[in-house]
Every structure is written in C-alpha cells, then in structure tokens.
C-alpha cells in the first residue's frame, strides 16, 4: 500500500503557490531548485500576476493547474492560508508543504490558526508538512521543495530535522565533503506529519539505509517509541536532541521528581527504542555516515596505521574512552611489516611509519593488519606533509576498503590540502574524519547498534496478583489531595503485592500505643502531614522506640518540634511502624514524564539519594532486561550482588518490586509520582520491604 507521504518525495507534479518572479524571494528559490536538480515531474508556478517564471508557465490559481499534480508547496502569507488550503483541497491534492511561518511559534493566536488549518486539512484527507519549515528533498528524484542552496550527492542518510535552519546549515556544511544523502525532511511545527511518521516512511524506503534526526521536542512520546523500536530493528536511527539543559524541570516534591528531569526521560526513552543518541551535529553525521557505509565492527580491537605518533595517541585515547582498545598485533604480522617499512618504523600498534610515508606503505601495513585475526577495525591516519602523496594514500585506503570485510574508518588530519582526498574517499563510501579523536565516538555508535540487534524482541514483564479493589480504595482515600502520605501509599503498594513494614496510622498518642503493641517494639514514629514532604528535615521521625513510656515521651517531643519547625502544617497523626532489621537501602520510584509517560528510577536509597545520585532510569512498560540493566548500572546493583565478601542480597525481590511499581504506574495514570525510599533489601531469599513511601497525584 503506497504511503500518504510518497508525494513529498516522488510526486508526478508539484505546484508552488506564491511563486515569485523576484530572485530574492524564497519561492523563487524553490522553483529554481525544482528546475535545476533533475526533477522529472511537472512543475507549476502559481501566481496570478505572472505568465511565466524560469521558463515554466505560470497559473492564476491552483484550480487552473492541469494534471498531474500531487504536491502543493505554499509560500503565501498566513492571512490567506485558510482560503489557500481550501482551494488545494478542492483541487484534490493530498500532500502540502507549508513553508509559511506565523503559526504556533508566535503564540496562542497563531496556534488557533494552526489548529483551524489542521482541521481543514483533515477534512480533505490532506497530509501536511510544516508549517514554518523549509520543505522536503529526495536527492535521487531531484524533488527539492526547499529554498536551500545546493544539493548533496545521493547516498544512504535520510535526515529528519525539526529545524529548517539546521537542515539548510547541514547541507552547506557537508555538500563539499561528498557525504551522500537519500532524503531531507524539515518538519517545522509538525502540525500534521511528525518525526514518527517520517520514521515509518523512511523505514520502507530502500535508499534510506540510516536515519539521522535533529529533534527539539517530541509531541507523542509513546508513539515515537513504538515506531522507533520497530524501525531501529530494520535500520539505524541516530538522534541529536537540542535543549538538554533541564532548567524547566522544577519538580522537588519527591526524590524521584527532583532527579528525573525531562532530559533523563529522553535518554531513557531513546535507549529503550534502540535509538543511538549523539552529542553534537558533527557526531550525528559522522556516526550516520559510518553506519550507512561500513559493516558493524566484529569486536573492539582496533589497529592504527599512521605517519604521526601524536595523532595516533589522540585516536587511542578516544578509542579507550569509548570502550574500544588497541589490538595486539600478532608477532608474525609484525615481522612481516618490518620487511618493507622504514627500519625505524614502529610495527606494534599503532603502526607508525614516520612522516614521509608512501601510498605503498599504507597498502602494505593495512593489508597485513587486515590479515591479522586479532584485528576487528582498521583505522589509518595521515597528517599531510609536503613529501606525501595525499590523494595516492586515499586511493590506497580505498583499495583496502574494497578487499576487507572489517570496519574501515580513516582520518586525514587537515583541511586545506585534503579536500580532494576527502571527497574521493567519501564518494567511495569510506568514512574520513578531520580529527583523530572522532573515530572512537563513531565506533561506540556502531557498537550500540550491534548490541541492539542482539537484544530480545520487546516483551514487557507480566505482574500477577493485583488487588484492583484495594487500589480503588486507596485512591478513594486520596480524594482531591495532591500530596499523598505514607498511609494511603502503603495501601497502593499492598494492592500491587509490595510488602510494607508492619504498622498503621494513629491519630493520637493512645491509638499510637495500640498500634505499637500490635506491631511489636521497637518501633519508629513518623509524622503524617500533607504539608510536610521531608519528615527528617522537620524533626518528624523518631527511631528505635523501645517501649510505651518512651513512645509517649517521643510523641510529645515530636509534636513540639513540628510546632516549632512547621507551624502552619496540618497534622493528621503519626505512622507507627515496627523497626525493620537493617539491610541495604535502595530507592524505587516513578515520575510521569509529560512526553514519554511513566519513567522508572532505581538506585541507592535513604537520605543521601540526591547527594549520591546513584540512579538509573527506564521508561515503562519494562522488560526483564530493562529491570536487570537498571540494577546493574548502579552502585546499588553492585552492592546487591555482594561486595568484598558481604552476603548477596535478594535481587529477585528487588526486580519484583520494580516490576510491580511499574505496573502500578501504568495502570493508574492519575499518579504523577510515587516512590519507595528506602526499600530495605535482605539477604538472598529473605525478600525486601518498603520502609517509607509517598505519592503525588496529577493536577
């Protein structure tokens, strides 16, 4: 079944509404690109005040445009956008690029117009890219609906950008390098077509081998994750997120809320979806280009062949930082290298052939390194010098690339004298970088994709024995409160099979005595107030109470402290709980992210959690593998396994609690945050219990 997005890249005819005769206008640039870059379909300028533009007949209105026409590009003021879209709909065109700005990006008035345009487009069954974008490009068909100057060569990278300016900047940056692209898609405000839609389209396009994305924000997180999870199994997705600083995340209502910022949610979501996140625009295309042209590394052992020891040292540092290592070159290979290289050359690793190296030296060194079974990746480096044939060296690298089945990345450390060689290598599909420390990050991205392909297919954990009636009762007790105390949260946890330490709520001292006698001394007493979030900071916790007499004394002392420290707080009573035996304290929590939903957290717990920040995140629903990774990535996980002779803790009980809290979060979207801190974990086979918990309801 043909995609509704096909006309944006392979339309039989394109109409440009607002086409101008003025070369300084954007619409003129769009028409010029369609005429100049080999597009074979029909091109129809629409301008009632012109008869011809760039040799193409101009039409007074879209209604006058003859068939075939499958794509409309709108470059008209926002004031006439509704009439224009209605005319396009009546003409029967189902794909529209709105270049025009002045919509949601300007505030609520523009947002109203945008919503109205979306409703109108939906009524005609139209798909819309934009508004406030620069358009789309299919490099092979030459359908270029943008006003960007220049077109890169055809190649494997499909680029999705929410920013039109970034899209144009990328083309200008890479066009001379001869890195190849299949498509460009500038999405702008994403009124209709989103990044998830484009992912689905490029997943089925045979020319798009790898998808690179520049994203500022995702509108529908769960759908993006579902689509990306499917697409990443077919082809790599490399992702650059703008706006990483989480200045807007001001949640301090719980440890989970204060630690789980929106960027943490993006990181967890991207990893779960199999997306390779990078940190810079150069990394975005360095990694994508390698994934689109080279086989994945069989292992992490890299052989460097170079004429510059300093450059090789920088490369080696980058490799180590990114989880790769210098290969141990076999003795027989080293002996063979010595037979033809400079007698002063170093033949271990890096293979340093000294400054005045020849193309034949590289052929010899790389050919032998390729034959070494202990080498997984070849990384030749050249620092150009006056006596070196740089283009000849590049051709030697290409010859090795034709023969080897290993990953081949290259470095020409220069710019002024290396452009021709860089273009030669990239045209041949051999990635080349200007800086030796770029290879390590590229290989890490390739290794990430390799590991993704090894992972089991997504299968969420299944939680049984949930008491939904008890959960409903707990939510009924909450009523309209936003901050939920331990008493109600305990009931929620019990409903999902999470064990609490024995205890109950007491409204006064006499009831507290009865609860303590039932639970059994020693006990802990904790203040219960919707106005007090961190009990210990306010003097609202008393530990190791041994008997009734001490309980009465501690109760009076606590009420005095609370009256002094929190005079405005409304006190509901105290929680009396049995003092639990000591164990390892961990935290398990959830914060509902507005983009991706339930974000689960695990790490070392107790009062030091925000200082230590020993935490890991995953987006629910969780798989068994997700839960294992959450635990293994933390110091808490290492302690659970038994550190320096300490007993192994009940890791299975921790996994069960994480799974159950995740299910609770998925089943009850009205809960914005919930956490257990601390969860006390006992030795293997002895379980885990919640010592303290809290929840925050959504507004």
Over residues 331-381, the pLDDT tens digits come to 999 999 999 999 999 999 999 998 889 999 999 999 999 999 999 999 999
pTM to 2 decimals?
A: 0.92
pLDDT for 255: 40
pLDDT in tens, 206-262: 999 999 999 998 989 999 999 999 999 999 999 999 987 654 333 333 444 444 457
> Between vectors from CA 51 to CA 46 and to CA 53, what angle results, nearest 5°?
70
What does the mean pLDDT of the chain come to? 94
Fold agreement (468-578, 584-697): no
Q: Which CATH class is domain 468-578?
A: alpha beta
What are the extents of the domains in the chain?
1-157+168-177+199-205, 294-454, 468-578, 584-697
- DSSP label at residue 254: S
Residue with tokens 């719980």: 254
Would you list the DSSP string of 183-242? EEEE-TT-SS--HHHHHHHHHH-TT--EEEEEES--S-HHHHHHHHHHHTTTS-EEEEES
CATH 3.40.50.261 for the 294-454 domain, yes or no: yes
pLDDT at 152 over 90: yes
Fold of 584-697: D-amino Acid Aminotransferase; Chain A, domain 1 (3.30.470)
- Helix pair angle (359-371, 390-403), 10° resolution: 20
Residue with tokens 């990430």: 448
> Between vectors from CA 203 to CA 197 and to CA 208, what angle results, nearest 5°?
115
What is the Cα–Cα distance from 279 to 441, expressed in whole angstroms? 10
Average pLDDT over residues 113-127: 98
Tokens matching residue 194? 């989103």
pLDDT in tens, 470-519: 999 999 999 888 889 889 999 999 999 999 999 999 999 999 999 999 99
Lowest-pLDDT range of 146-155, 320-329, 568-577, 623-632: 568-577
Asked if 87 and 93 touch (Cβ cutoff 8 Å), the reply is: no
pLDDT at 70 over 70: yes
**In the CATH scheme, what is the homologous superfamily, with its name and number, of domain 1-157+168-177+199-205?**
NAD(P)-binding Rossmann-like Domain (3.40.50.720)
Average pLDDT over residues 680-693: 96
């Amino acid at each position: 079944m043909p995609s509704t997005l096909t006309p944006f890249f392979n339309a039989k005819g394109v109409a440009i509404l607002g086409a101008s005769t003025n070369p300084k206008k954007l619409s003129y640039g769009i028409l010029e690109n369609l005429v100049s870059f080999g597009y074979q379909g029909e091109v129809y300028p629409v301008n009632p005040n012109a008869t011809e533009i760039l040799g193409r007949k101009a039409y007074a209105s879209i209604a006058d445009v003859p068939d075939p026409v499958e794509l409309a590009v709108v470059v008209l003021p926002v004031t006439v956008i509704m009439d224009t879209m209605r005319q396009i709909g009546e003409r029967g065109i189902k794909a529209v690029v709105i270049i025009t700005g002045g919509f949601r990006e300007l505030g609520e008035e523009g947002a109203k117009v945008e919503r109205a345009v979306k409703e109108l487009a939906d009524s005609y069954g139209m798909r819309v890219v934009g508004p406030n974008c620069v358009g789309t490009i299919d490099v092979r068909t030459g359908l270029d609906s943008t006003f960007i100057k220049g077109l890169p060569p055809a190649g494997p990278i499909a680029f999705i950008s929410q920013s039109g300016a970034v899209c144009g900047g990328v083309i200008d940056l890479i066009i001379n390098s001869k890195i190849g692209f299949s498509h460009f898609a500038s999405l702008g405000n994403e009124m209709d077509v989103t990044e998830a839609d484009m992912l689905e389209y490029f997943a089925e396009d045979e020319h798009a081998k790898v998808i690179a994305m520049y994203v500022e924000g995702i509108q529908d997180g769960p759908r993006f994750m579902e689509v990306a999870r499917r697409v990443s199994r077919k082809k790599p997705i490399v992702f650059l997120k703008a706006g990483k600083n989480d200045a807007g995340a001001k949640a301090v209502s719980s440890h989970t809320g204060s630690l789980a910022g929106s960027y943490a949610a993006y990181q967890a979501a991207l990893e779960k979806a199999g997306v390779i996140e990078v940190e810079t625009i150069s990394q975005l295309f360095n990694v994508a280009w390698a994934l689109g042209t080279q086989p994945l590394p069989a292992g992490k052992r890299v052989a460097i062949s170079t004429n510059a020891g300093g450059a090789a040292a920088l490369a080696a540092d980058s490799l180590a930082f990114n989880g790769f290592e210098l290969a141990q070159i076999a003795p027989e290979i080293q002996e063979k290298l010595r037979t033809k290289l400079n007698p002063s050359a170093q033949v271990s690793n890096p293979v340093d052939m000294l400054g005045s190296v020849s193309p034949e030296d590289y052929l010899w060194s790389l050919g032998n390194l390729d034959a070494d079974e202990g080498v997984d990746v070849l990384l030749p480096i050249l620092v150009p010098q006056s006596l070196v044939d740089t283009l000849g060296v590049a051709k030697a690298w290409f010859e090795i690339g034709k023969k080897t089945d290993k990953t081949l990345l290259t470095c020409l450390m220069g710019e002024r004298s290396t452009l021709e060689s860089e273009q030669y290598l990239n045209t041949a599909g051999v990635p080349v970088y200007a800086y030796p420390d770029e290879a390590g990050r590229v290989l890490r991205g390739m290794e990430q994709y390799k590991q993704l392909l090894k992972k089991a297919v997504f299968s969420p954990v299944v939680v049984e024995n949930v008491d939904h009636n008890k959960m409903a009762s707990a939510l009924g007790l909450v009523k309209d409160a936003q901050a939920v105390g331990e008493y109600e949260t305990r009931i929620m946890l019990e409903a999902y099979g999470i064990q609490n330490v024995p205890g109950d709520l007491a409204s006064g001292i006499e009831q507290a005595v009865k609860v303590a006698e039932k639970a059994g001394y020693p006990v802990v007493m904790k203040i219960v107030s919707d106005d007090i979030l961190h009990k210990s900071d306010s003097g609202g916790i008393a530990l190791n109470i041994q008997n009734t007499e001490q309980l009465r004394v501690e109760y009076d002392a606590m009420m005095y402290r609370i009256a002094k420290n929190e005079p405005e707080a409304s006190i509901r009573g105290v929680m009396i709980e049995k003092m639990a035996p000591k164990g390892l304290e961990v935290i398990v929590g959830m914060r509902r992210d507005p983009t991706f939903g339930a974000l689960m957290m695990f790490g070392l717990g107790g009062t030091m959690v925000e200082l230590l920040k020993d935490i890991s995140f995953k987006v629910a629903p969780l798989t068994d593998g997700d839960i294992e990774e959450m635990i293994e990535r933390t110091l808490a996980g290492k302690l659970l396994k038994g550190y320096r002779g300490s007993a192994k803790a009940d890791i299975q009980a921790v996994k069960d609690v994480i799974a159950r809290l995740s299910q609770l979060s998925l089943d009850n979207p009205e809960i914005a945050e919930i956490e257990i801190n601390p969860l006390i974990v006992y030795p293997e086979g002895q379980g885990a219990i919640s010592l303290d918990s809290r929840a925050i309801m959504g507004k």
